[in-house]
Amino acid sequence: MIELLQEELFQLALVAALLVGLCAPAVGTFIVQRRLALLGDGIGHVALTGVALGFLTGTTPVLTAVLVSIAGAVAIELVRARGRTSGDVALALLFYGGIAGGVMLMAIAPGGSNAKLNSYLFGAIASVTREDIVVIAALALAVIGVVVVFGRELFVLCQDEEMARASGLPVRFLSLLVAVTAALTVVIAMRVVGLLLVSALMVIPVATSQQLTRGFRATMALAMLFGVLASVGGLLASTLSAKVPPGAAIVLLALAGFVLALGVGKFVRRSRTQESTMSERPRVQVKEVA
Amino acid sequence: MSETAFAMTGGQVTFDGKPILRGVDLTVRPGEVVALLGANGSGKSTLVRALLGLTPLSGGQTLLYGTPPARFRDWWRIGYVPQRLQVGGGVPATVGEVVASGRIARQSRLRRTSQADRAAVAEALEAVRLSDRAGDPVQSLSGGQQQRVLIARALAGQPDTYVMDEPTAGVDAGTQQLLADTLAGLVRGGKTVVLVVHELGPLEPIITRGVVIREGRVAHDGRPPRPEGECARPGHEHVHPHAAETTAGPLTGWQGDPR
């Protein structure tokens, strides 16, 4: 293990896993609160076209993926905001187009192959380069920055959009911000867990965390911890045997955590009800919003 | 010209071709306590939403403190209490967090939560007697308690005008009285209140003006209706259509009363 830690390749992978583990659940908390748990999946599908476009044009696939998934996220948000039932179908069409477009472009791209496609669909954390890490770190910084600066407003928006409007918040801008931040997160996570499993890291840690917490801030903080544990843990697990794919190991670990939290959560809630009926808590506790 | 909190002239709202508001004129001046009354489907909820600019008008215009909603900037002056608490997609939020979000219109993006924010939130929680529940998830509260959270959220923002959509619907008598006492305190402090109610109940003494909406129009505007006879009995089930025909009124003493 010590030797492994000294290998640059592994160090890069570790940094990537850490950043993804932090970012995905942070954005995921807002997305789950907003009942858009599948947004990440949608963007993931669209991002595939972006990756293929990168191969076709000879640009870094991560960069083209950023551009295309932001465009896709904005499109999804616009359809959502119009709120018509046909929106469902429009989104589905967009997702199919994303996958099919990606496969097609990849096939005609010089040097494009199914193996390369697979590394984006299912992740290839071992092939992360220094250049990738720079991009991933910059995107991660942007994502965390959005959460820190806009967290309070996003909480109101995701809790109750009408309330946000009646508070004078820039609802359209904030909605687009959520979508774009999700798109950035998808791109960060695609090298680690793959586009098909990206959404898992945005949703599972949040679902796990909310079994145990009472508040929004606490849910987000714990989800980020679970996210890091799963992504780093999965990466370490994959070093045990060459047969273990890291992306799948990360997601399965996260799911195992969720199942565990379900059980623990039941226990915690039961002891809490006893506590609150047995003892009064006169202490005024005011938590600020994320 | 004196300041108006709300000024709607000829307000029309149409949903999918169906007219909901058919030309409403309504001016609310600071310090007034206005009850919007009317049967289900009469358009009173749509009216409050239109007053706030949450529902766009298809005709006429409405002003918030003299400014159209789209260009209104002083949102801290308005405290909106919606009908129901939205709990989001299952992510828990504590009572304290939700009430603190009422400060959002007073907070700037990069400033951290201030002492004044904390004090206002603590005071709002105290006013609705939920201080001891501040750390509990709102999802675990009863309907009446959630209603109190919504009111506390508006209180925390310390607005000039409160707009409440059926704050007394489905809450127990204790919460209704608590709300009445809280509102009485606000009114003494010169605040403006516009509320949609089904029946006045314990709120009756503080209402200064009753506006009855019928089929998307103002059917009565003046002294608040006083319940009489059967309707005045405590615990009376309100089953008749509100302000139906002029002949049908147990609500007498106000109809045709010129303001």
The CATH number of the domain holding residue B79 is 3.40.50.300
CB < 8 Å to A262, chain B: none
User: Cβ contacts (< 8 Å) between A281 and chain B: which residues?
Assistant: 132, 135
Both tokens assigned to A47:
């991002």
Burial of residue A162 (number of CB atoms within 10 Å: 0-12, 13-18, 19+): middle
> What value, to the nearest 5°, has the Cα angle with vertex A190 and ends A189 and A191?
95
Instruction: Assign a CATH topology to domain A2-276.
Output: ABC transporter involved in vitamin B12 uptake, BtuC (1.10.3470)
Label residue A7 by pLDDT band (50, 70, 90): confident
Nearest residue in A to B106, CA atom: A167
CA A60 → CA A51, A54, A117, B109, distances in Å?
8, 6, 14, 35
3-state secondary structure of B211: strand
pLDDT, one tens digit per residue, over A14-26 is 999 999 999 999 9
Q: Tokens 């949040």 identify what position?
A: A206
For B134, which of A206, A280, A285 is closest by C-beta distance? A285
Residues of A whose CB is below 8 A from B82: 160, 162-163, 166
pTM assigned to the model: 0.85
Q: Give the CA distances from residue A90 to residues A65, A164, B248, in Å, rounded to whole numbers and listed in that order.
A: 21, 26, 51
* Most confident option among A112-116, A228-232, B201-205: A228-232
Q: What is the pLDDT of residues A48-94, one digit of tens each?
A: 999 999 989 988 888 899 999 999 999 888 888 876 656 678 778 88
| CA gap A33, B172 in Å, rounded | 29
pLDDT over 70 at B234, yes or no: no
Closest CA of chain A from B100, distance in Å: 6
C-alpha closest to that of B147 among B93, B235, B78, B81: B81
Q: How confident is the model at residue A222 (pLDDT cuts 50, 70, 90)?
A: very high
Instruction: Please tell me the predicted confidence (pLDDT) of residue B51.
Output: 95
Which B residues in the span 82-141 are in contact with A, Cβ-Cβ below 8 Å?
Answer: 82, 85-94, 96-98, 100-101, 104-105, 107, 109-110, 112-113, 117-118, 121-122, 125-126, 131-132, 134-137
Spatial contact of B29 and B20, defined as CB atoms under 8 Å apart: no
pLDDT band at A280 (very low <50, low <70, confident <90, very high): very low
Distances, alpha carbon B215 to alpha carbons A200, B199, B205, B239, in Å: 49, 18, 27, 18
The answer to whether A165 contacts B101, with C-beta atoms less than 8 Å apart, is no
Those residues with Cβ within 8 angstroms of residue B133's Cβ, 6 or more apart along the chain or in another chain: B95, B141, B145
- Asked if residue B199 is part of any domain, the answer here is yes
> Which amino acid, residue B113?
T
pLDDT at residue A113 above 90? no
Tally of domains in chain B: 1
A145 three-state secondary structure = helix
The residue in chain A having the minimum alpha-carbon distance to the alpha carbon of residue B82 is A163
Looking at the partner chain, which of A156, A283, A284 has a beta carbon nearest the beta carbon of B104? A156
Kindly list the distances between the CA atom of residue A236 and the CA atoms of A190, B73, B117, B225, in Å, as whole numbers in the listed order. Answer: 18, 52, 45, 73
Residue B78 lies in a domain: yes
Residue A234 · residue A249 · CB < 8 Å: yes
Q: Is B216 helix (H, G, I), strand (E, B) or coil?
A: coil
Q: Which residues of A touch B (CB under 8 A)?
A: 29, 32-37, 149-150, 152-153, 155-156, 158-160, 162-169, 206, 210, 213-217, 219, 276, 280-289
pLDDT for A76 equals: 87
For A35, the closest chain B residue by CA position comes to B89
Of B82, B85, B91, nearest to A33 by CB-CB distance is: B91
Instruction: Identify the domain containing residue B225 by its residue range.
Output: 6-91+160-248
Residue B125 domain flag: no
Q: What is the pLDDT of residue B241?
A: 47
The interface residues of chain B toward chain A in range 132-171, judged by CB-CB distance below 8 A, are 132, 134-137, 157
H/E element holding B141? none
Q: Which two tokens stand for residue B250?
A: 């147990």
Residues A37 and A199 sit within 8 Å (Cβ to Cβ): yes
